[in-house]
Structure 1
Amino acid sequence: MKVAIVTDGPYGERAYETIKEEFECDFVELEPPASMFMDEIEVPQKELEKLEEADLLITYVLHPDLTLELVEKLHDKVGWIIVGAWRGEGFKNQVERFGNVTCPENMCDLEENGDPIYDEFVSKFGRPVVDAKVEDGKVVSVEVLRCSPCGSTRFVADEMVGEEIEGLAIKAGLRIQHYPCRAPKMRLFTDDECKKEMAANFHRDAFEEAIEKALKKKEKNYN
């Protein structure tokens, strides 16, 4: 599967570095539109053709009219579009009406939706899933089964090795702050729950579940 990431600003590079380890991935940078009028926004043909080659497109474009232009031009050329930066429920509804477009509240909250292309991507990237091994009350290894697109899950996983399992899930959630998580900056336009807190909770839950599974496995082996 081929993934393309498109941006008009500072976001997307970390996702590109992470995603290219699992899928063929292109990174396309566009100039932010100088005009405020939708009918004067144009996407360069060369970049447009490159994006059309993708099976799945992720846009970190901050300019809403440029995002809409990309969705309108590409929704019937690619299998799925994930809009990582968006503004307001009205805009979300407008682009999601195309059917193969999703505007997640947080990029580390992606889960399967039944579409084969989307689900192939989400099998590797989205809501964190980890597998942990514990010995003598400590974490000895962590395998990342599904990573947040920005790579923060791998960062937290490395940081948790050697830590006591007591209170580990909470510690994992807090450690996401050190990555640092860019979620709130991606969604400056919302008054909803802090996106960084959401990311922290997803990682807390992932490690809590992993520790519970690891302890149950050890108990079963002893019995």
Structure 2
Amino acid sequence: MKIIIVTDGSYGERAYATIKEEFDCEYMVMDAPSSTCMDDIELPPETMAQLEKADILITYVLHPDLTLDLVDALHDKVGWIIIGAWRGEGFKNQLESYGNVTCPENMCDLTENGNHVFDKFVAKFGKPIVRVNCQKDKIVDVEVLRGSPCGSTNFVAEEMVGERSDTVPIKAGLRIQHYPCRAPMMRLFVDDESKREMAAIFHKEAFEEALKKKTKPD
């Protein structure tokens, strides 16, 4: 499966570094439109031809008109489009009306939706799922079964090794806030703390579920 990440700025590099470990992944940068007039936006044919090869297209494009043009031109040529940067519920609804477009609140809240292409991606990246190995009351290993595309779940997993199992869920939720989440930077009129709190809850819950199924090393 081919994943292509497209951006008009500096966002998406961490997702690319994480996703390419599991899938064939490309990172493409487009020039942000200099004009505020939608009619002046040009979609380079060479770039569009490359983007059409994606099974999953992830956009971190901040310019809303460029985002809309890309979705309009590509939604019927790719398997699924994930909008990593969007502004406003109205814009989100407009984008998702294409049918195979998802605008998550955070990239770490993606879950299966029944589409085989999307679900194949979300089997590896989205709402965190981890497996923990314990020795007595200590965590000796954490396996990330599904993690945030930005790499935050991997960061937390490494930090939890050696911690007491009974305190790990809370510590995981707190520790995720030390990983610089960029989601609030890609939203307009959002509460930074709410986005961080959402990520903290997801990771806390992931470790709570893992501890219910904890295993002991041989």
- CA shift, 1:174, in A, is 1.0
| TM-score normalised according to structure 2 size | 0.95
Post-superposition CA distance 1:14-63 (Å, at most 9, x none): 00000011110110101111010111111211111111110110001111
Report the number of matched residues.
Answer: 216
- Cα distance between partner residues in 1 of 2:164 and 2:96: 44
- Would you say the 8 A contact 2:126–2:146 is kept in 1? yes
Q: Give, in whole Å, the separation in 1 of the partners of 2:191 and 2:93.
A: 18
- Provide the residue aligned with 2:79 in structure 1: 79
| Matched-pair identity in % | 68
- Residue in 2 aligned with 1:21? 21
- State the alpha-carbon separation in 1 of the partners of residues 64 and 111 from structure 2: 24
TM-score, normalised via structure 1 length? 0.93
What are the residue-to-residue correspondences of 1:132-211 with 2, within 5 Å? 132-191=132-191, 194-211=194-211
Moved over 3 A (4+): none
Unaligned runs of 5+ in 1: 219-223
CA distance in 2, matches of 1:191, 1:140: 36
3-state SS of 1:87 partner: coil
Contact map agreement 1:88 1:190 (CA 8 A) in 2: no
* Worse-matched range after superposition: 178-187 or 59-68: 178-187
Q: How does 1:65-76 map to 2 (within 5 A)?
A: 65-76=65-76
Q: CA RMSD in A?
A: 1.3
Letter in 2 for 1:140: V
CA contact (8 A) 1:182 1:196 kept: no
- Quickly say closer, same or farther: Cα 1:94–1:59, change in 2 above 3 A: same
Paired amino acid for 1:5:
I
Shift of 1:193: 6.8
Quote the offset at 1:179 in angstroms: 1.9
Gaps of 5+ in 2: none
Aligned to 2:93: 93
